[in-house]
C-alpha cells in the first residue's frame, strides 16, 4: 500500500521511516471493495477505508521528510499491473470477493521507483531502500 509519494531523497525517507516506526503500531484497515482503473499501477486494486493510525503515519512521514508534495492519501493495495481493456478490468474486478473484514499491515518500506510507472520494466526497476517492522519483528 502506498502511504506517501515524495521526492527522491533516501536519507529523508529513512529518517521518516524510523520516526513512523517509533510512533506507530500495526495498521488494520477495512477493505471497501475492488476497483479498477486505466492507470497501469492501479489496473485492479483493493480500496481501503483510512484510519487514524494510517493518517498518523502519513503525517509523520510527510513531516520527517520535510515534504510539501500534494500527494493525497487514498489507501489501496494494487492487485495487478497490466494494460487491460475496460470491459476486462470491470469483469475481473466484479468477480473478486474480499474474504476479510480487516487487513493488517505490519511493515513499512521505502521504495525508489519510476513515477509514473507505465510498464513491467518500470515496476521491475523498483528498489527497496529501507524497511521497518511495526510489530517489533526483524526484517
**What are the cell numbers at 32?**
471497501
In this predicted structure, the answer to whether residue 61 has a pLDDT above a threshold of 80 is no
pLDDT of residue 5: 61
Give the Cα separation of 19 and 15 in Å (integer): 6
- In this prediction, residue 91 carries a pLDDT of 97
The confidence score (pLDDT) of residue 108 equals 86
pLDDT tops 80 at residue 68: no
Q: Say how far apart CA 21 and CA 4 lie, in whole Å.
A: 15
Q: How confident is the model at residue 90 (pLDDT cuts 50, 70, 90)?
A: very high
| 135 vs 124, residue with greater confidence | 124
pTM above 0.85, yes or no: no
- Please list, in sequence order, all residues whose beta carbon lies within 8 angstroms of the beta carbon of residue 138, skipping any fewer than 6 positions away: none
Q: Using the 8-state DSSP alphabet, how is residue 138 labeled?
A: -
**Where residue 81 falls among pLDDT bands split at 50, 70, 90?**
very high
pLDDT on residue 114: 81
Pairwise CA distance, residues 112 & 8, whole Å: 7
| pLDDT value at residue 9 | 64
Domains contained in the chain, CATH given: 10-133 (3.90.1140.10)
- Residue with the bigger pLDDT between 62 and 67: it is 62
pLDDT beyond 60 at 4: no
Average pLDDT, integer, range 88-96: 96
Calculate what percentage of the chain has a pLDDT beyond 70.
87
- H-helix or E-strand containing 90? helix 86-95
Mean pLDDT of the chain: 86
Amino acid at each position: 500500500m502506498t502511504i506517501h509519494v515524495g521526492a527522491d531523497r533516501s536519507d529523508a525517507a529513512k529518517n521518516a521511516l524510523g520516526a513512523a516506526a517509533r510512533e506507530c503500531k500495526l495498521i488494520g484497515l477495512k477493505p471497501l471493495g475492488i476497483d479498477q482503473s486505466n492507470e497501469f499501477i492501479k489496473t485492479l486494486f483493493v480500496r481501503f477505508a483510512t484510519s487514524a493510525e494510517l493518517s498518523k503515519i502519513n503525517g509523520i512521514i510527510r513531516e520527517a521528510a520535510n515534504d510539501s508534495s500534494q500527494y493525497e492519501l487514498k489507501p489501496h493495495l494494487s492487485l495487478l499491473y497490466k494494460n487491460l481493456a475496460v470491459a476486462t478490468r470491470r469483469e475481473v474486478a466484479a468477480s473478486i470477493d474480499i474474504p476479510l473484514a480487516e487487513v493488517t499491515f505490519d511493515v513499512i518500506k521505502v521504495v525508489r521507483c519510476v513515477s509514473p510507472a507505465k510498464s513491467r520494466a518500470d515496476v521491475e526497476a523498483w528498489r527497496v531502500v529501507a524497511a521497518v517492522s511495526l510489530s517489533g519483528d526483524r526484517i
